[in-house]
Amino acid sequence: MRQILTVFIITVIFKTVNGKIQCKNMRGKSVDWFVVYKLPKLSGSGTTGKEFVYIDSESSDWTRGNDINDEQVAVGATISQAYSADKSSNFLLMYSDDDPIKEADSYRGHAKGVSLFDSTTGFWLIHSVPNFPPIKSYSYPSTAEKYGQSFFCSSMEVQHLAELAEHWKYIQATPYVINLPDKFGTRFPTLKNVQAKQSLTRSATQFWISKPIKTVQGVTLMAYAKHKKFDGDIWNDLISKQNKVTLAVLTYRSWLNGSGDDLHTTCTDSSQTHDVTEMRVTGLNFASSKDHSKWAVSNSQTNPIVCFGDMNRQKSQLKRGGGAVCIQNRNLWQIYHSSVIQVEPCKASFHYSFFRTAIIFIFLVFSVSKI
């Protein structure tokens, strides 16, 4: 009888956990975190702009997906929870500086994301896609098929809405869909500031924050947020310096389209941030001109971090809010680190090259595997 009762309790717990609002994997089941890299549309490669690769906390390498528009897997399955959520008991936020409803907002934070919570758990999805997601049902915009795009989803317990609310307030997130039941507004009053588009007071003197946030399985993420008054590059002036690591960053590069707004590779005595110029993902090579993603990977085996964020490395974005979330995971780090084929080097000869170090690392790994 005791064994039957134990099995019953375990079954109930499993079904309850699996049924909670969380990130969803390629089978539509709950997962601690995932990364999706939507591949660019490339002539001669067979990619249509809908293909993507996927990896999560339970896998060791990329899994290929054929249709980012599929509401049954990963991004689609995760966001689709928002459309069926009970408005009386669930918190929902969709925010974007370039949402599907109105024209792009160049004043507030350059940030895009979706978050949904019930009374116990929820998810936070950071993405780089303009005009996404829709407000009524899931679909992926055809206008965003051309370029590569990034998604990072993390499942967490509801108490972390306190840190998320502060993060959204700092970056000046722009809600275009928000559902804030009284119980959430009472428990997390900063969410009311987010809803009202209220950021820092005029007397504020701290213009960036970093907060550790744990996933449901206990993985510690570090969330970085900068206010527009920080007046700096989140990748180099915040993440690189705070972690004391060299970064390779892939973001939109405007100079490729005739603008001189890019910051380019930045190398100082206290930080190095290299712009990625060429990538290789699952055997597919493409230049950063084909990519709209916003991610970074460190060049440190002792601090193997991968970060997913909101901002491009452009002068115009120094005076805008935005954020990033970093995860320390050696397997994910190796995948991203090895995918960097070429970066823009430092101009000064005495600074070492991320690309040269990456080649040395790959060589050492290959050599060890042959022994």
Catalytic residue ranges: 292
| Residue 314 DSSP one-character state | B
- The amino acid that residue 180 corresponds to is L
CB 181: neighbour CB atoms within 10 A? 15
| Rounded distance between C-alpha atoms, residue 309 and residue 13, angstroms | 34
**DSSP for 34-66, written as a single string:** EEEEEPPP-TTTT--S--EEEEETT-SS-EEES
Strands in 63-65's sheet, in edge-to-edge order, are 63-65, 52-56, 33-38, 149-157, 121-127, 112-117, 91-96, 175-179
Show the tokens assigned to 175. 């809600």
Given a contact cutoff of 8 angstroms between Cβ atoms, the answer to whether 33 and 144 are in contact is: no
Structure-derived torsion over alpha carbons of residues 172, 173, 176, 177, reported in degrees to the nearest 10: -120
Nearest to 311 by CA among 170, 156, 139, 140: 170
